[in-house]
Chains A and B, each alone.
Chain A
């Protein structure tokens, strides 16, 4: 019977587990990826903690987490509730809002650069011509992180709304009808029936959001590369830069370990919450 699981397990162990263990080990070595690694003790971590860019990257990861725990979740919850009320629009609208999720991140990033943010060819350019004075947010170290977050929110919220809608549709119709007959308005229905009804799904998505927010890489690397002036740098772009542009794998590994630590904390929190749930249901 073990033979059935062996191929999948073998590939997973060789590609993910062993290199992951090596990364953890490499965090304690000086290594350029090619030569012989030299034992460095905690030097990589010392250097990292002395680097102001590491702290601003970590802060950016926290900001990113805060944005994604709130903005797309609120939009998605409202939208899911709205689609629940309007079944005739459901199928078409569901496909429309899901569409951004299936478009490659590299393509989405470029479309937003050219058609939205560009001061020469984008919506920003059009706004400038029509009396609003807005500079290119991607060129501003203070705003670039938020501009990239906006792109990711566009890509993400529709998927989230579809997930929430699927969860809301499992709430019993009787419960919703009863609330309606009692004269509950949109927000009362939302607050007292829909939100409690999808709590398990909501918790799972929030935990996954925390895990993914500390891993965020693609949109930032593609749109700003962490710039300008490290303004949108996060741990993942920092690690990638260390490994492949500066040839310092030890330093990259240290950053990757910190990233994973936050993911681990979120996973532990989730398992702990699950245990509470199980205890209550038995």
Chain B
């Protein structure tokens, strides 16, 4: 039992150091968002002596964050909608149908997860440019749908696999058509899975950078992340205002995370843990 106490002492020491290093940059960002530029350069590690909330109001105004946050919400909302509509029926048939063709399809979706965005970004950009789809928010949401739906399909497939087949057969015996079985029997039972998918897909769409920065180039339609990226640089000077903007962009995500932690963590680690 002496060994046991040792184990726990080492564990708590490790946990303390690790939590501190995870929190340090976040705490520094929050603290300095409330300081003036002079205060920051005097001592970035000191807590603010006076809370300068005006950093937030000026960041909001100068960066025009309002509209860009709205664009982020539009992109995220549209992506969630399209992913749920297309991935759910696909996950359902992939859970039920056996056979070679279906296995190939599963393999195809799995392979498309590991394809680097660089492998399709360039032709896609120039095709979209020809079609006049650059600077279009729905077009970006469509790209995100393709990028994030394989993950959604595999997550929802595990939910579909857990639904007893007997339920569907009962409905079928009563004369329900396949789409009716899906809509009235399967869909209601997939609701918890859909919520997890919506959260993860929404997070990914809100935070996504490469596609957003490539396909959205007008200030009138950029997402908050791109707006933030364009306005700040390595040699920015007004860190207080910049950090305030950063916090306003991250806050919605953190709030959802705090409220729905379990779903976040389970959804994002699903697939990695093999039982």
| Interface residues of A, Cβ cutoff 8 Å to B | 1-2, 4-5, 7-9, 11-12, 14-20, 22-23, 26, 33-34, 75, 78-79, 81-83, 85-86, 89, 93-108, 110-116, 120-123, 125-126, 138, 154, 158-159, 161-163, 166-167, 170, 180, 183-186, 189, 200-201, 204-205, 208, 211, 214-215, 217-218, 221-224, 235-236, 239-240, 243-244, 249, 252-253, 255-257, 259-260, 263, 267
Contacts and interface: CB of A to CB of B under 8 A. Distances in A.
Given A125-B44, A183-B3, A8 B86 contact: yes
Given A7-B85, A86-B12, 11 more contacts: A5-B105, A93-B15, A99-B22, A100-B25, A114-B32, A121-B41, A121-B239, A123-B28, A159-B268, A244-B214, A259-B116
19 contacts: A4-B92, A7-B89, A9-B108, A11-B86, A16-B146, A79-B15, A79-B18, A83-B15, A101-B268, A103-B207, A104-B250, A106-B229, A111-B246, A114-B243, A167-B273, A201-B272, A252-B122, A256-B118, A256-B122
B4 A180 contact: yes
A279 to B, nearest CB: 17
Contact of A111 (B28, B43, B90, B108): B28
B207 A104 contact: yes
A16 B115 contact: yes
A259 B118 contact: yes
Contacts of B124: 15, 19
A45 to B, nearest CB: 16
Nearest to B114: A211
B23 A96 contact: yes
B246 A23 contact: no
A153 B229 CA distance: 21
Interface string B64-92: 00000000000000000010011101101
A23 B269 contact: no
Task: Rank and list the top 3 A-B pairs by shortest CB-CB distance, nearest first.
Answer: A15-B146, A19-B120, A22-B123
Given A97-B18, A123-B44, A217 B118 contact: yes
Nearest to A17: B112
Contacts of A184: 3
Contacts of B50: none
Contacts of B229: 106, 222
A214 B116 contact: yes
Interface string B17-57: 01101110110110010000000110111000000000000
Residue from B11, B86, B116, B126 having most chain A Cβ neighbours under 10 A: B116
Contacts of A78: 14
Contact of B22 (A97, A201, A236, A260): A97
B126 A189 contact: no
Contacts of A263: 114-116
A106 to B, nearest CB: 5
B41 A120 contact: yes
A217 B119 CA distance: 13
Interface stretch (B166-174, B190-198, B253-261): B253-261
Nearest to A7: B86
Contacts of A260: 115-116, 118-119
A138 B234 contact: yes
- The interface residues of chain B, by DSSP majority, are classed as helix
Interface of B: 3-4, 6-8, 10-12, 14-15, 18-19, 21-23, 25-26, 28-29, 32, 40-41, 43-45, 82, 85-87, 89-90, 92-94, 97, 105, 108-109, 111-112, 114-127, 129, 142-143, 145-147, 149-150, 153, 178, 182, 203, 206-207, 209-210, 214, 225-226, 228-229, 232, 234, 236, 239, 242-243, 246, 249-250, 253-254, 257-258, 261, 264-265, 268-269, 272-275
Given A82-B14, A106-B225, A115-B25, A166 B4 contact: no
Nearest to A255: B118
B3 A185 contact: yes
Contacts of B207: 102-106
A213 to B, nearest CB: 11
Residue from B14, B129, B203 having most chain A Cβ neighbours under 10 A: B14
A120 B100 CA distance: 61
A226 B123 CA distance: 23
A257 to B, nearest CB: 8
Contact of A158 (B12, B22, B108, B206): B22
Contacts of B254: 99, 102-103
Nearest to A205: B272
Given A5-B94, A125-B44, A111 B209 contact: no
A126 B45 contact: yes
A217 B118 CA distance: 9
Contact of B228 (A17, A34, A97, A107): A107
Nearest to B275: A170
A221 B117 CA distance: 14
B118 A185 contact: no
Contacts of B111: 267
A86 B234 contact: no
